[in-house]
Structure 1
């Protein structure tokens, strides 16, 4: 598993960067008719959201990491 220290320091910044990239790609794909770009970036952002949730799960020791990742994927794809 990924070390907790790495998750705590790196993942939030990567998560924010992924959302910025997602927003930029969303604007470009709407203009350029490339919906697959939005789909790929949505999945990437969902995985990063899952890592953030996994970090919380590691800290809380109550939530199973797989459930946290799967829950975030479903939430992101639902939106």
Structure 2
């Protein structure tokens, strides 16, 4: 049987064990992009956190909602906005 792991709990567990979250590598352009609001950052950084070594990130909307604490209904709006900005 495969255990389903809540991504947010997994992040929190790692923070408790190590005192810090897993580091992720993101382009500095994310920090410099003044078009991004807080929720954009939350989703975009979560997408980077789920990326595989090739840079492919395909978490579900539910996974993104759980990891960011945002409602699932907002995830599509935010990812569409990010895509329109070139992210």
The two structures have a TM-score, normalised by structure 1, of 0.30
Greater relative contact order, per chain length (Cα 8 Å cut-off, separation 6+): 1
